[in-house]
Structure 1
Amino acid sequence: MTAVDERAVAEFFEGFEPPDGLKVELLRGEIVMMASPDLVHNLIVSDVQDQVPRRHWARMQTQDVDIVDEASEPVPDLVVVAPEILPASGRLLPAGLVTMVVEVVSKTSVERDYSVKRSIYAAGGIPVYLIVDPIMAQCVLLTRPEGEGERADYKGQVKRKFGETLMIDALGVELDTSAFGTLPDVKPHRYPLP
């Protein structure tokens, strides 16, 4: 896609009003719409949010994030930022302010969460990307972003099964995953790739 095409899509996206019940994101110039999430998804997001101490961190659900030099405005399931650096207002939160993003995998978001968003969040320099996967009953913690554009990636990766704790050093939080639910009758996948 050319820069002109990306600008036109970004301008259209800024004024787009999605139908009720749909989540909409701009990912590398592509507008992606998703149905409202499953109850399991929402409970996991709430559980992770509850474990990140409010006195130290601003925890926001469905906050648009601005990735510099990308035609992307992802909407993570949870965004964690130091409260003292939050802007006073605005729809887009600059990626440079974000400490951690969380995505909870759904039946239709596996490849997007494990691959496309992994690259986008790394390109944005977001220090921590947590993928919570109720299909495979696992969490994948990605750290140390490197690179630019589609070649950006995280160099650090830790995987834990639900029921195990996961230390998130950047937040000083030991995440308890024992209450995370799973999605029944969903075909297993192969992510994360080694």
Structure 2
Amino acid sequence: MTAVDERGIAKFFEEFEPPEGIKAELLRGEIVMMATPDLVHNRIVADVVDQIPRKRWERLQVTDVDIIDETSEPIPDLVVVERGVAPDSGRLLPSQLVTMVVEVVSKTSVQRDYEIKRSIYAAGEVPAYLIVDPIMAQCVLLTRPVGKGENADYQRQQITKFGAPLPLEDLELELDTSEFGTYLNVRPHRYP
């Protein structure tokens, strides 16, 4: 894809209105649409939000993250930003202001969450990327982003099974995963 094409798709995406009940993200020049998530998914996001202190952190849902040098505007399930750092308004939140993003794996987002978004968030230098996986009953915390573009990745990966506490050093807290639900009758996958 040429630079002109990338600017064109970014402009198109800016004005794109997905159908009601559909979330659309721009991931490396491709528009990806997703249906409304499962209740298990929504409850996990709510549980994580409840555990992050509001006085110190903004816990933003349905917020587009602007990834520098990428034709990507992912919409994480949760974006955590230090209070007072984010702009007062606007559609895009620059990735360099983000402390942590959270993605809850859905039945159809496994590869996107574990591969594509991992690389995108690392390229955007997001310090912590938490993948909460109700298929495998585990959390994967990725930290220390390095690299550029599709070669970007996280140097550190910590896997925590649901039920065990998960230290989130960047937020200076420990996440209780004991009430995270799982999907029923879903085949296990091979990630991370």
Do they fold alike, i.e. is TM over 0.5?
yes
What is the CA-CA distance between 1:178 and the residue it aligns to?
A: 0.3
Letter aligned with residue 12 of structure 1 = F
Q: CA deviation at 1:71?
A: 0.1
Partners of 2:98 and 2:79 in 1: how far apart? 7
- 1:16-44 alpha-carbon deviations (Å, 9 max, x no partner): 01100001000000000000000000000
**Equivalent position amino acid for 1:79 in 2:** V
Per the alignment, in what secondary structure is the counterpart of residue 84 of structure 2? Answer: helix
1:1-194 aligned within 5 A: 1-192=1-192
SS of 1:142 mapped into structure 2? strand
Q: For 2:170, what is the secondary structure of its paired residue?
A: coil
Q: String of CA shifts for 1:142-180, please: whole Å, max 9, x gaps.
A: 000000000000001100000000000000110000000
Runs of 4 or more above 6 Å deviation: none
How much has 1:2 moved relative to structure 2? 1.6
Deviations 1:46-69 (A, max 9, x none): 000110000110000111000010
Structure 1, 38-47 or 2-11: larger mean CA deviation: 2-11
Matched residue SS, 1:84: coil
Between the aligned residues of both structures, percent identity stands at 71
Q: Does 123-132 or 79-88 show the bigger shift?
A: 79-88
CA distance in 1, matches of 2:82, 2:27: 25
Q: Using the alignment, how far apart are the partners of 1:86 and 1:146 within structure 2?
A: 23
Unaligned residue ranges in structure 1 (runs of 5+): none
Which residue identity lines up with residue 69 of structure 1 in the other structure?
A: D
Using the size of structure 1 for normalisation, the TM-score is: 0.98
Q: Per-residue CA shift, 1:119-153, capped at 9, x if unaligned?
A: 00000000000000000000000000000000000
- CA-CA distance at 1:4 after TM superposition: 1.4
Query: 1:145 & 1:49 partners in 2: Cα distance?
Result: 23
TM-score normalised to structure 2 length: 0.99
Q: Gapped runs of 5+ residues in structure 2?
A: none
Measure the CA separation in 2 of the matches of 1:127 and 1:120.
Answer: 12
CA distance in 1, matches of 2:132, 2:36: 17
Where 2:45 maps in the other structure, the secondary structure is helix
Amino acid at match of 1:20: E
Q: 3-state SS of the aligned residue for 1:189? A: coil
User: Residue type matched to 2:151 in 1?
Assistant: R
Matched residue SS, 2:42: helix
- Please give the root-mean-square deviation of Cα atoms over the aligned residues, in Å: 0.5
